[in-house]
Amino acid sequence: MKQHYFRWTGCSLLVATLLMTNCKSDPKSPAAIAKLTDTAFVKLMEGNLDAAQETAASVINADSSNGLAYLLRASNLLFEKGDLSLAQADLEKAVQLSPNNGVCHAFLAECYRKQSNATAAKQSADKAISLLQSPATAMDHFALGLAHTIAEKPEAAIADYRNAIALNPRYAGAYLKKGALFYGQNQNDSAFADLSKAIEINDGFEEAYMMRGNILFAQQQFDAAAQDYSKTIALDPKSPTGYLYRGNIYAKQKQYEQAATDLTKAIELSPDNMDAYIERANAYYYNKQYDDALSDYKKIVEMSPDFANGWLYVGIVQHEKQQYNEAIASYTKAIDLDSANLYAYANRADALDAIGEKKNANRDRKIYADLGGEITASGESTTRSIFPGSTFDASEARAALERGSSTIRGRACTKVDGRIFDAQGVKVVLFPVTAYLEEWYDLRRKKEGRKTNVYMSTEANQYRIETSCDYDGRFAFEGLKPGRYFIQIIHNFNQMKTARIYTGSDTYWNGPVRTTTNYYYDQNYVVARSKRLEKWVEIKEDGDTKKVTLANGLIKSCVF
């Protein structure tokens, strides 16, 4: 049960007077009503707001003109239950019945403030301040603190709460409100002390745990902060904020799965909570769950299309997934929205480099430097790697690799210096032909050279079937469905060669003739060879068997 955060140090003059009467059996007698009202106050001071509300309702049933009872019934709605429209109705009734009661006006002002009705809140707060010129009770000082806070007089409000505490040292709500003001002023040490005191008196303050958790988080005391956020969740399981903040802590501690669980709960409770989407997307990204991260980042830019960094984050994940054209488009969108977005220029340069657009990449890097970005000197490889720009369609490849009843049988060998080398034990890779693979092959045909390598994306490389050649280079792929396939072998082997090594000579004379004899020996050595063997194969009918040869030319003895 959450406890309330104010205490009334004594009954009103009305209640005190009524208590002097003798309570008979009539539940509507003044004495009986006074007793019920006093009971409601006791429950309120004990923090049992549900009981206070029920008792106050009984008073209203007995005496609908009792303004104090309406204030008591509204307090539960105002400070705990959150049904502010009902609280407003009760407090307006209390003000109507007790127009000169400054506490009623202060509570009504707080109710308006919580509903973002600033004009009405200010009017009621000013009225409360004018009526509470001579506060006598802890409740008077507390109410005056509420009014001064709304009037944007935080120092006066802090003094009011101090006075309330002086009259009632166990006034937990006054500690809470004073701590909240210190928190808003970034006086974290004072805020922490007051919030901790409020919790010591009453451990049902969700708001106190939340603010104290924020202070601990800022101090990087993550375990302690997580404990406070867990307490807020226990006190109010339907509030998304506790899950959001605890999820942030788990992410800081690299507990990404726990972070995603909490942040998912925050989103369930608050579907439009963009902060929760951002933090969950970050957790997915750092946990290498790129598809989930991309989905969340796209949701963010759907919710806020003009959020430049949202497009930057979309581009970063697309970049990570090697979806270069899409990444470039997202970075460009970020730049369109924020022409000074350093990271969008830097990342777009890297993406342009990846598809071989070196000139445009250098242009972006110059803009990055002109905007203040730092480019450090570094050694650069003389060989560059480039990739297709389009996005690999995993569903297309997955469908192409579904089970069928066709077979490809083949043999692979390489001819060098008149000798034939079977691809013994060499890995053979089969790819389904997709639009992405054809783009890669065409890019390789145009761009590959001594200083340029052309690769497929990591994801595209995963959609393949592998086998190995036997002792004479034979291989087979079974269970294929009709379609086009691309087979590749990187045939690495050693070629044994022999060289004649000169060791010296003898010279002698046979009469006038000089004869020289040179001496040699044969030395074997190994030359490492590597040949890339490839073949496009089409299966037209399910159940067909295709026979293929992979070789670096026409080699009759290598035919399957």
Eight-state DSSP code of residue 4 = P
Core vs surface per residue 433-466: b (16+ CB within 10 A) or e: bbebbebbbebbeeeeeeeeebbbbebbeebbbe
Reply yes or no on whether the pLDDT at 382 is more than 70.
yes
Residue 186 near residue 208 (C-beta atoms within 8 A):
no
Mean pLDDT, rounded, of the chain: 90
For residues 202-231, give the mean pLDDT.
95
Is the domain spanning 394-558 CATH 3.40.190.10? The answer is no
**Above 90 in pLDDT, residue 543?**
yes
Does residue 88 surpass a pLDDT of 50?
yes
Asked if 533 and 491 count as a contact pair (C-beta separation under 8 A), the reply is yes
CATH class of 316-375: mainly alpha
Q: Mean per-residue pLDDT for 160-187?
A: 94
d(CA 210, CA 391) in angstroms, rounded, equals 44
Answer yes or no: are the C-beta atoms of 409 and 475 closer than 8 Å.
yes
pLDDT computed for residue 43 by the predictor: 64
Higher confidence at residue 425 or residue 1? 425
Q: Which of 201-215, 327-341, 511-525 has the highest mean pLDDT?
A: 327-341
**pLDDT of res. 554:** 78
Q: What is the pLDDT of residues 28-70, one digit of tens each?
A: 777 788 888 777 765 665 556 677 788 888 888 888 888 888 8
Q: How much is the average pLDDT of 71-100?
A: 87
Cβ atoms of residues 539 and 482 within 8 Å: yes
Among residues 178, 128, 121, the alpha carbon closest in space to that of 150 is found at: 121
Judged against a pLDDT cut of 50, whether residue 477 lies above it is answered with: yes
Mind spelling out the 3-state secondary structure of 363-418?
Answer: HHHHHHHHCCCCCCCCCCCCCEEECCCCCCCHHHHHHHCCCCCEEEEEEEEEEECC
State residue 49's pLDDT score. Answer: 66
Domain with CATH 1.25.40.10 in the chain: 238-304, 316-375
Which string of b and e fits 536-548 if b means at least 16 CB within 10 Å?
A: ebebeeeeeebeb
Distance CA 313, CA 406 (A): 44
The residue with tokens 């009792």 is: 66
Identify each DSSP E strand in 117-212 by its residue range: none
Q: Does residue 16 have a pLDDT over 80? A: no
Looking at residue 349, its amino acid is: A
Element housing 507 (H / E) = strand 483-510
pLDDT of 69 reads 86
Cα distance between residue 527 and residue 545, in whole Å: 37
Question: What DSSP designation does 10 have?
Answer: S
- pLDDT value of position 12: 42
CATH assignment of 238-304? 1.25.40.10
Q: What is the pLDDT of residues 225-242, one digit of tens each?
A: 999 999 999 999 999 999
- Res 172 pLDDT > 60: yes
Contacts of 410 (CB under 8 A, 6+ apart): 428, 474, 475, 476, 487, 535, 547, 548, 549, 550, 560
pTM of this structure: 0.79
CA distance 254 to 306: 30
**C-beta separation of 111 from 74 below 8 A:** yes
Helices vs strands, H then E, count in the chain: 24, 10
Pick the more confident residue, 161 or 71: 161
**372 pLDDT band (50/70/90 cuts)?**
very high
Give the tens place of pLDDT for each residue, 341-370: 999 999 999 999 999 999 999 999 999 999
Residue 433, SS3? coil
In this prediction, residue 13 carries a pLDDT of 35
Which residues of the chain form CATH 2.60.40.10? Answer: 394-558
Which tens digit of pLDDT belongs to each residue from 265-319?
999 999 999 999 999 999 999 999 999 999 999 999 999 999 999 999 999 999 9
Gyration radius from the chain CA atoms: 40
pLDDT, mean of residues 469-485: 96
Give the pLDDT score at 186. Answer: 95
pLDDT at 538: 98
